[in-house]
Structure 1
């Protein structure tokens, strides 16, 4: 009973801090400090200083600013301007035609940015006006963009997978490899739905307004192909064991700088802006991770994770029932917080339950990202909904309704990887065996 009261007090205090506008990192540090001070005998100041330093000095974290910087550099290579021109010629024969640009464009940019909101915003700026001008269905155009924007959280190199790997002490290389097939699965489900919708509503898809031969298509994609090859090289070098995540990120930065130089978009202002943008984002995430590390240690001192794990074990819940409960919990929490905050806020408390239920932590990391993706397009505070509201001027409920089919497809994806966990674990196992 005492442990239950402690849990309620700390959770209430956390939501009080967050609701009061405190930074997430400061809220985590404060809750950890209060938890140790009230419910443990350890000196909170010493524990905080050593834990924060240990979390900040982690070698694993070095991949984070490098991948973010790679994305910032490529973002300034006019990638979004080239994307429509490069992808559109290859899609004219598919049912739904240029609507698939939203899915494939988001998939490409997801491998660059690692951010859901940035992916939806960048691709949306390019695709929404163009699709509207050509007469494509507005609801499906907006809905497919809302759903596809969430691929920024899953397709590697994903920032949120790095955050989960550091928080849960799971190999980031393994997480990156594990995210490939689920990302392809989700993109395939989205494209399949668009194609099926186009077949059912043939009159709502405008006819192709241009036709190109193979060499013409390749020429139209000339500026997009090097970026895709760079992304494939970065992920492939990790899979084949040629490089660690940090080394691959360093190669990615070098390649991005080279492409930016070749395309003529590398100048001092762009270089400085990309460096500052990467620094700001990296510092924010590192600060949150340091706060989460201290909260995790503080929870260990209070004994709450052990009590929760024993409670789950005594209830003898099946892994499926636990996953259903966690799915609902993550969706609700994700309506109010960004994905990174959701992960760092919950990992310290939830992982003991997950381990007690016998769920593989590598698989669970991909599951968490998929569920957090779902929360990005659910009202009242789904971040992608606000991004698209700013782009289109449409009511947020209209956008949420347009995104509903893609939310349901994400539910289908979660069910599929739950029934067939090999979709997540196969590539990491093969990479481990190969290396």
Structure 2
């Protein structure tokens, strides 16, 4: 059952000759969406814009095992001079699993998409994508920044991630791409200077917004789950993958990102993040209606979940839950739907004159995380610890509202 919810560049070709390559347009963008729940009226089905993404079949792409090249060869394998055996083959398989786990799943997916786009571009230009040529990469990012056919240009941040994806892919193949080569470094510096803009930030969902959103939810299984997602996500300052990646206990699933430890005073979340494990402590709230711990307990009790993923699909008739983990995209869809239904943002000058369709684009899964950073009236270091940031500066980037002049260096300097 379903859930309810530049000319003159030359580059070597495979036969050793040099071929001149001219810039060309990158393919037109397309949206690829995955649905794991029934869309709600007026809510976008996906959490992020696919602008600038290649026109490819993501399902086919993402089904490829990590570490395979275009010929289907695994990048991690036994040396040619070593004879295979059952034990060694099992070790190779395990090594491939560890290599795939070196970066986050979403990062791996993004890197695969980046390579697919670059390989397609290279085929149209008649060059070998497997040859790590800085000259070719320089032309490629030039075409991404200013497509020759007038199609939408990619943002600087997207091009930067493309470069990271290509470098990572070459490393996995045992090849080296010299990112400091002038064909890349000079062109990339020029792109940043020409097209660079201040980073755009998603709007924060503040405490009062969360209360309005939660008030719209009923007490059916699906809404009980969504209430727990919102409150735990906000109080913990969690990423959407950290919310849906929670398990009841330690090491209960292979794809888990953390687990719960229920205590009298609240719940401790053990989260495996980008820099290792961290503890997120969520205390009990002032009332059951807004308490994230109470909402979590109610969901687990009525959903009869005592093992495995915490947040799962709910059957259409609210008769029970499935065994599969909820997609992290559900968190985005949930926030966008409730932003529309509750009118969150209408009192903000930057959003008040926008249509509902435009207003909801300013919110995402990160809005909960930004909300905690902006609304928690405690010492900044406690917020930094909760979010798992290595520096206070990173935490400040998440703060959409704060007294910027609480520490006044002008007066402190005697002026």
Instruction: Classify the TM-score, shorter chain.
Output: under 0.3
Structure possessing the higher relative contact order (Cα contacts under 8 Å, 6 or more residues apart): 1
TM-score (norm 1): 0.26
Higher share in strand = 2
Higher share in helix = 1
The structure whose Rg is larger is: 2
